[in-house]
């Protein structure tokens, strides 16, 4: 059995040896992040292990629901596990009927006691369970803040977070913080930040802004970079003459256009010249899914993160270059990173070794002791 997040499984599938290794696994349990449909299809194509989608927050001892997806066409989080009860509730604390979204709440013996020395947050999230019916261990329930709905077949469909917090590249991000900083940029009048899936089903931050004229992506990244960490930097910047509105005058987020084209850091294009530079550019293009990478492009501006950094280091080694991940974070621009790559000699792939081997000296000493019931040491 193998238990991993989708991001780690994606890394494993990206390596030939990893794909072969998964063929001998009997069961793969995926959780911790939303499972992309393309990753599920890749796992199903292995045609060996059974695939399970796991759901549950830390506050309920991690796992609360499970669904087998070995032959499934649609992805959901399944049904509650043993000793667990799940409720879908509206804002008034009433149970939602089948098909109607609401907040996912969890009761059962797996609930934590609360948050350490955070009484107010504990009281807000861990509340009395009005549906317990006297059942021991179910007196309280945890409000997850997740949006979900019951399906007609009894499974639960996860719809995302109720607030504007999103999880990207392993970080929980408050979209409102980025919007506030973008509004500090001169000439930006309105700003909306959304998390949208790209062609690889990876979430990317998209910034929509209204200004008197279109601003360069490089300029906006420079302004935001003075206040925001790299993981909160939008991958796309889309200029609008005005925000689309709903009939009641609110911004219509569903009508905001999807990003067109590929990621671009905003830097001027400079062609690679040396062999290491060309190799590095090719690796970046492959891992980041960007057709054109120049010497002045920044790893993070092109959607790079810690997971893709590991993939770049691995892919660079496959093409004959050693690259330390700390250097990638220290020198995220191609021109400054290339000098820190070192050519390595190719090593032959070592296959499985089998057959008889001679005993080691310490093994000879063990058998020489003439222990009683030697089989007890097996």
For residues 2-11, give the mean pLDDT. 79
Give the count of domains, the chain.
3
| Tokens found for residue 264 | 């671009």
Task: Let me know whether 325 and 279 are in one domain.
Answer: yes
**How confident is the model at residue 200, as a pLDDT?**
64
Task: Let me know whether 104 and 145 are in one domain.
Answer: yes
Task: Let me know whether 116 and 185 are in one domain.
Answer: no
Residue 367 included in any domain:
no
CA 276 to chain centre: 30
The residue from 161, 183, 206 where one domain ends is: 161
What three-state secondary structure class fits 2? strand
Is the CB of residue 205 less than 8 Å from the CB of residue 173?
A: yes
Residue 361 included in any domain:
no
Task: Let me know whether 120 and 23 are in one domain.
Answer: yes
The residue from 161, 193, 220 where one domain ends is: 161
Is the CB of residue 234 less than 8 Å from the CB of residue 301?
A: no
| DSSP assignment string, 226-239 | TTS-GGGS-SEEEE
**How confident is the model at residue 280, as a pLDDT?**
94
Task: Let me know whether 243 and 308 are in one domain.
Answer: no
Q: Say how many CA atoms lie within 13 Å of 341 toward its Cβ.
A: 28
Residue 201 included in any domain:
yes
Structural domain span for residue 7: 2-161
By CB atoms closer than 10 A (0-12, 13-18, 19+), residue 231 is middle
CA 6 to chain centre: 7
The model's pLDDT over 306-348, given as tens digits with 9 standing for 90+, comes to: 788 999 999 999 999 999 989 998 998 999 999 999 998 765 6
Distance, in Å, from the CA atom of 110 to the CA atom of 84, rounded to the nearest integer, reads 7
Residue 270 included in any domain:
no
| 42 contacts: CB under 8 Å, gap ≥ 6 | 13
Distance, in Å, from the CA atom of 79 to the CA atom of 84, rounded to the nearest integer, reads 10
Residue 264 included in any domain:
no
Residue 169 included in any domain:
yes
The model's pLDDT over 77-126, given as tens digits with 9 standing for 90+, comes to: 999 999 999 999 999 999 999 999 999 999 999 999 999 999 999 999 99
Task: Let me know whether 34 and 155 are in one domain.
Answer: yes
Smallest CA-to-CA distance from 212 within 249, 240, 171 is with: 240
Return the beta strands (E) in the chain as ranges: 2-4, 27-30, 50-55, 65-68, 79-80, 84-89, 102-108, 126-128, 140-150, 156-161, 165-168, 171-174, 188-197, 203-211, 236-240, 321-322, 342-343
Task: Let me know whether 228 and 283 are in one domain.
Answer: no
Task: Let me know whether 124 and 32 are in one domain.
Answer: yes
At residue 245 the predicted structure's pLDDT band, cuts being 50, 70 and 90, is confident
Task: Let me know whether 150 and 172 are in one domain.
Answer: no
Smallest CA-to-CA distance from 239 within 198, 210, 280 is with: 210
Helix (H) or strand (E) holding 123: helix 119-125
- Percent of the chain at pLDDT exceeding 90: 40
Residue 269 included in any domain:
no
**How confident is the model at residue 339, as a pLDDT?**
94
By CB atoms closer than 10 A (0-12, 13-18, 19+), residue 100 is exposed
| CATH number reported for the structural domain that contains residue 207 in this entry | 3.30.300.30
The residue from 111, 127, 161 where one domain ends is: 161
Task: Let me know whether 12 and 140 are in one domain.
Answer: yes
| CATH number reported for the structural domain that contains residue 146 in this entry | 3.40.50.12780
| Reported pTM | 0.52
Task: Let me know whether 156 and 27 are in one domain.
Answer: yes
Task: Let me know whether 195 and 332 are in one domain.
Answer: no
Residue 40 included in any domain:
yes
């Amino acid at each position: 059995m193998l238990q991993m997040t989708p991001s780690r499984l994606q890394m494993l599938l990206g390596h030939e040896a990893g794909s072969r290794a998964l063929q001998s696994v009997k069961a793969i349990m995926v959780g911790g992040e939303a499972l992309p449909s393309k990753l599920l299809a890749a796992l199903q194509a292995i045609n060996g292990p059974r695939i399970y989608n796991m759901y549950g927050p830390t506050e309920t001892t991690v796992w609360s629901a499970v669904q087998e997806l070995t032959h499934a066409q649609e992805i959901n989080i399944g049904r509650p596990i043993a000793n667990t009860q799940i409720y879908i509730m509206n804002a008034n604390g009433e149970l939602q009927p089948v098909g109607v979204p609401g907040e996912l709440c969890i009761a059962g013996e797996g609930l934590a006691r609360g948050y350490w020395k955070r009484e107010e947050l504990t009281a807000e999230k861990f509340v009395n369970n009005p549906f317990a019916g006297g059942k021991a261990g179910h007196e309280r329930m945890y409000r997850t803040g997740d949006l979900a709905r019951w399906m007609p077949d009894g499974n639960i469909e996860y719809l995302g977070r109720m607030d504007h917090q999103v999880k990207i590249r392993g970080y929980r991000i408050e979209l409102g913080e980025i919007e506030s900083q973008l509004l500090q940029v001169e000439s930006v009048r309105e700003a909306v930040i959304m998390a949208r899936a790209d062609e690889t089903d990876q979430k990317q931050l998209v910034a929509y802004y209204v200004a008197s004229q279109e601003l360069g992506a490089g300029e906006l990244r420079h302004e935001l970079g003075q206040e925001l960490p790299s993981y909160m930097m939008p991958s796309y910047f889309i200029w609008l003459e005005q925000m689309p509105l709903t009939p009641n005058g609110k911004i219509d987020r569903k009508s905001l256009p999807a990003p067109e084209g590929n990621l671009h850091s905003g830097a001027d294009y400079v062609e690679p010249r040396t062999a290491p530079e060309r190799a590095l550019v090719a690796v970046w293009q492959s891992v980041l899914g960007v057709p054109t990478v120049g010497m002045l492009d920044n790893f993070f501006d092109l959607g790079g993160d810690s997971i893709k950094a590991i993939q770049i280091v691995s892919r660079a080694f496959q093409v004959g270059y050693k690259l330390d991940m700390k250097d990638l974070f220290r020198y995220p621009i191609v021109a400054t990173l290339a000098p820190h790559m070192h050519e390595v000699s190719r090593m032959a792939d070592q296959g499985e070794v089998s057959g008889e081997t001679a005993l080691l000296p310490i093994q000879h000493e063990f058998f020489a002791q003439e222990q009683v019931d030697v089989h007890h040491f097996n």
